[in-house]
A and B are shown apart, each in its own frame.
Chain A
Amino acid sequence: MVVKLYGQVTAACPQRVVLCFLEKEIEFEIVHVDLDTLEQKKPEHLLRQPFGQVPAIEDGDFKLFESRAIARYYATRYADQGTNLLGKFLEHRAIVDQWADVETHYFNVLAFPIVLNLVIKPRLGEECDVVLVEELKAKLGVVLDIYENRLASNRFLAGDEFTMADLTHMPAMGYLMRTDVNQMVKARVNMNRWWEEITARPAWKKLMKMAGFEA
């Protein structure tokens, strides 16, 4: 029985899990939860995810939510299969965790509301808060400068190899790169080099195809 992923392949947090499955060569099945009709807020889904969000997984009797916890579980459980996403020894794993936490606390807090305003609200016919977006972009620039510096001396965020620290950024980055924020990345030599390298990975290309985007 394959693991079931409840969500939508176009949504960023489910994409984080799908990308992990693809990198780890794990079979899975997507059970569509329709975000446009707010299916994620309905009682049936709230039993899987009490905060009314996607994704959630069911693997036989085992159930989980929070995309980063799900990705980490499968990366650990299938450590010997596919890409090693977690680092080979304790100190390296700590550095992977560090930059994965940076994604949560510095990057996502800015990227999510930018994507909400520039991508999601227009689709729902709502007005974009342009003042907020400009403020967020200014803060994002400061964060991207730190990444730029990090990637000047490291091929990937946690060192010489692609890990969960890079993967966890990719869904929101994918959306940001479809807005004028892409100028902020292209203007930074190392960030641009890093983004081009990680989006050339077969798992990412497969995800983009599944989501109906061309790479």
Chain B
Amino acid sequence: MVMKVYGDGMSACVARVLLCLHEKETEFELVPVDLFACHHKLPSFLSMNPFGQVPVLQDGDLTLFESRAITAYIAEKHKDKGTDLTRHLDAKEAVIVKLWSEVESHHFNPAISAVIHQLIVVPLQGKTPDAAIVEENLEKLGKVLDVYEEKLGKTKYLAGDSYTLADLHHVPYTYYFMKTGHAGLVNDRPNVKAWWEDVCSRPAFLKVSPGLTVAPATN
């Protein structure tokens, strides 16, 4: 039985999981959840994720939510195939992957998701973006990217010399960010720019990026 992912490919958090599945060459079924019709807030969905968010993974009897817990599970379960996303063979290397994954969760994600929310999601709700929130979070994001610029001057990827979950977790929101008018935050930092151009051209991401457009389904 293949793993089922409940969600929509336009969601950055769903894309995070799909990207992992492609990197691990793992078959899956994407079960559509109509986000515009708020199907992720219905009782039937809440019984899978009480926080009413996508993605949810079902693998046999296991139901999981939280995209980064899902990617960790997939990467561990299928550690012997596809890309080595966790450096599981060495405990010290594995925790460096965890460290930069934590950096994405705690430092990068709050800032970038706030910008994406204002610039992409808020207009879809017929409202005007809050410029102060955008500016505040661009500033925070800039400081995080300064740390990344220095790190990526020493290692090719965030956790070392190979692509791991630490890089992967960043990709979907960064893809949306590069379509806003603020791509300069990445492009003006040579190491971050080189890293971005590398990670967004990976074959696994080229399978996911077509889904990363925010619009209701036309059929």
B147 within 8 A of A: yes
Q: Bound state CA distance, A76 and B86, in angstroms?
A: 14
State whether B64 touches A95 (Cβ < 8 A): yes
Known: A66-B106, A98-B65, A104-B105. A90 touches B98 (CB 8 A): no
What are the interface flags for B94-122 relative to A under an 8 Å C-beta threshold, 1 for contact and 0 otherwise? 11101101110111001000000000000
State whether A101 touches B69 (Cβ < 8 A): yes
State whether A146 touches B50 (Cβ < 8 A): yes
The closest CB in chain B to the CB of A96 belongs to: B69
State whether A97 touches B95 (Cβ < 8 A): no
The closest CB in chain B to the CB of A50 belongs to: B147
State whether B66 touches A69 (Cβ < 8 A): no
The closest CB in chain A to the CB of B66 belongs to: A101
What are the interface flags for B67-81 relative to A under an 8 Å C-beta threshold, 1 for contact and 0 otherwise? 011101100110000
Known: A64-B99, A68-B102, A106-B51. A73 touches B91 (CB 8 A): yes
State whether A97 touches B72 (Cβ < 8 A): yes
B92 within 8 A of A: yes
Known: A77-B91, A101-B69. A149 touches B50 (CB 8 A): yes
B150 within 8 A of A: yes
For residue A126, which residues in chain B have a CB less than 8 angstroms away from its CB?
A: none
Chain A nearest CB, measured from B112 CB (Å)? 14
Residue tally, chain A, CB below 8 Å to B:
30
A110 within 8 A of B: no
Chain A nearest CB, measured from B135 CB (Å)? 18
For residue A62, which residues in chain B have a CB less than 8 angstroms away from its CB?
A: 92
For residue A93, which residues in chain B have a CB less than 8 angstroms away from its CB?
A: 73, 76
For residue B68, which residues in chain A have a CB less than 8 angstroms away from its CB?
A: 97, 101
Q: Which of B64, B70, B102 has the most CB of A within 10 A?
A: B102
B217 within 8 A of A: no
Can you list 12 A-B contacts (CB < 8 A)? A66-B98, A69-B98, A69-B99, A69-B102, A70-B95, A72-B95, A90-B77, A91-B73, A94-B62, A97-B66, A97-B73, A98-B64
Sample of 7 more A-B contacts, CB < 8 Å, known A90-B76, A105-B66: A64-B96, A68-B98, A76-B91, A94-B62, A97-B68, A101-B105, A102-B51
Q: Which residues of A contact B (CB under 8 A)?
A: 50-51, 62, 64-66, 68-70, 72-73, 76-77, 90-91, 93-95, 97-98, 100-102, 104-106, 109, 146, 149-150
